[in-house]
Amino acid sequence: MSKETKQEEVQEVILNAPVVDASANENVAPESFDWESFESGLNEADRKEKAELEQMYDTTLEELHENEVFKGQVVRITDKEAIVDINFKSEGVISLNEFRYNQDLKVGDIVEVMVDQREDKNGQLILSHKKARTLNAWDAVNKAHDSQEIVNGYIKARTKGGMIVDVFGIEAFLPGSQIDVKPIRDYEQFVGKTMEFKVVKINPEFKNVVVSHKALIEADIEVQKKEIVAQLEKGQVLEGEVKNITSYGVFVDLGGVDGLIHITDLSWSRINHPSEILEDGQKINVVILDFDEDKSRIQLGIKQLEAHPWDALNADLKVGDKVKGKVVVLADYGAFVEVAPGVEGLIHVSEMSWSTHLRSAQDFVKVGDEVEAVVLTLDREERKMSLGIKQLTPDPWTDITTKYPVGSTHKGKVRNFTNFGVFVELEEGVDGLIYISDLSWTKKIKHPSEFCAVDDILDVVVLELDVEARRLSLGHKQLTDNPWDQYEGKYAVGTTHTGTAVDVFDKGATIQFEDADVEAFAPARTLEKEDGSRVKKGEETSFKVIEFNKEFRRVVVSHTSTFREEDVKIEKSNNNNNNNNNSNNTIETSTLGDIDSLAELKKKMEEGGN
């Protein structure tokens, strides 16, 4: 019996119920009068039947809630709509567009629906199958996310950054990075396919769902990885596939677990980049060198599958032998030369030239050069070898006494300066030092750079030679006579000369004579002229020498002594003191000011002499 038939029968029973005769209460006592029968027009039995029918009517018609999912039966299908019975007072209609996914819909099918409108303009109940599917789909998606359940999804289309997947009727996003563990270049190949996914993220506020196929693959790989890792042992040889090549090494897939071959473990010979010997996808054999406690990092090697090159090195090779090789690495301190495949020797920069000047190895060789060298040290156990290039030429110090005897003169190139002198190279490997005091007889030099420049060619004379210490002392001024030997007679104490006061200060004046190398000092009180005035700066007049010291190139003069007799006596006394080798005492002893002036001059001249 249909719902509408039950409703019609209930209404008919109520309308056709018999009416109670009021006269039945005429002879009844007032306290026994049936007022309910009188008011309703029904006797007790009819009222009971009516109550039962009303209860049947109320329980037959369900209340409809808009956010509730109902199950209904398709009772009729038109060109545009499906008529669905949900056990309500009237049947509802659903647009066939909502059943596009189900082309096999037929009368009698049970479908899930929600109320879209209780009544449209025609009083018709409007239902939605799509809303019901969506609500149920969100419940299913949340359940799958919480339980990590694997779900099936239909890839509908390509979108920016990934794919659109239909899961339970909801459009979910599949990022491109979550399709596979390997990078995907062609996304279109997946459109139209049904695949398994895991729901990895849900945003209820924006109704967004993110799914991943890669997560399933990684889970499978993790299981395989544990099985493989459990069997790993150091020294074990496995087959793998080159997965990724970097500048520092190569990652190899061992069948679900990755290992790294460091660039130094690829070949016994030096290489600049792993791509020189391997390529992506290449099948190779590797040996397990090491792994951490949980075996998450596995260190692999290839070169260890071959014998070490040092084991194949010529057994007759010994110290002193000559070898040829190619420069493979260059550093400031030296060059590594490969003398055999995988066998290298170091040529330290100090073994590249007999010169004592510290230079960089780049000044002698470059990477790729073919060089010849002499074996200096050879340690087969430690697998170390040192080489030398300079040993291919004779040591210039072998016959140094023959080529550079003391007193011999030569030409040399200025190599560098120090505060105390100049280093001059006479030939490759033979350097000598000229002390600053041996540069000039006359010039007062504070730093060698005032006298010459780097790479200048200087004439030198050998002053000293120490073969054992490999030291050579040179001189430059010794190539000429010392002019102060002549000045000693020309500017003897008591001689008078014409000079110019080039500088006048509180304690005296600087006097320049005709010989440019001779610069004298005149104490302040010796500048007084005969008329009582004083010698002024730039004035030319006569001066008498009152002190001369060749060793310190010091000359003290006086203008006053040229016309005062007492100064002449003082000069004679000073001359006597000089004869007694007391050249450090000045003749002007009458005032402390003069003594101070002479002391200052002495200090100035001594500094100039050094």
The fold adopted by the segment(s) 68-133 is OB fold (Dihydrolipoamide Acetyltransferase, E2P) (2.40.50)
Check if the beta carbon of residue 173 is closer than 8 Å to that of residue 206.
no
**Tens digit of each residue's pLDDT (9 = 90 or more) over 515-532:** 877 889 999 989 998 888
pLDDT above 70 (res 120): no
What pLDDT does 584 receive? 42
pLDDT above 60 (res 190): yes
- DSSP secondary structure, 319-372, as one string: TT-EEEEEEEEEETTEEEEEEETTEEEEEEGGGS-S--S---GGGT--TT-EEE
**Architecture in CATH of 148-218:** Beta Barrel (2.40)
Superfamily of domain 321-392: Nucleic acid-binding proteins (2.40.50.140)
Q: What is the CATH number of domain 232-301?
A: 2.40.50.140
Residues of the chain with pLDDT > 70: what percent? 79
Helix, strand, coil % over all residues of the chain, rounded to 5? 30, 35, 40
What pLDDT does 10 receive? 47
Backbone phi, psi, residue 500, to 5°? -115, 135
Is the pTM above the cut of 0.85? no
Give the range among 155-164, 192-201, 294-303 with minimum mean pLDDT: 294-303
Q: What is residue 117's DSSP assignment? A: E
Tell me the average pLDDT across 252-267. Answer: 86
Looking at the DSSP bridge assignments, the partners of residue 534 are: 528
Give the range among 32-41, 461-470, 556-565 with minimum mean pLDDT: 32-41
What pLDDT does 569 receive? 52
What pLDDT does 105 receive? 87
What pLDDT does 49 receive? 66
pLDDT above 80 (res 568): no
Where do the domains of the chain lie?
A: 68-133, 148-218, 232-301, 321-392, 399-475, 483-558
Q: What is residue 124's DSSP assignment? A: -
As assigned by CATH, the class of the 483-558 domain is: mainly beta
As assigned by CATH, the class of the 399-475 domain is: mainly beta
- Within 10 angstroms of residue 65's Cβ, the number of other Cβ atoms is 10
Looking at the DSSP bridge assignments, the partners of residue 427 are: 430
Check if the beta carbon of residue 250 is closer than 8 Å to that of residue 242.
yes
**Maximum mean pLDDT: which of 16-30, 129-143, 373-387, 436-450:** 373-387
Q: Of 499 and 86, which is predicted with more confidence? A: 499
What pLDDT does 284 receive? 92
pLDDT above 50 (res 590): no
**Tens digit of each residue's pLDDT (9 = 90 or more) over 288-328:** 988 876 656 889 999 888 888 888 888 889 999 999 999 98
Q: Which of 442, 388, 401, 434 is nearest to 415 (CA)?
A: 434
CB neighbour list of residue 380: distance below 8 Å, 6 or more residues apart: 310, 313
pLDDT bucket at 508, cuts 50 / 70 / 90: very high
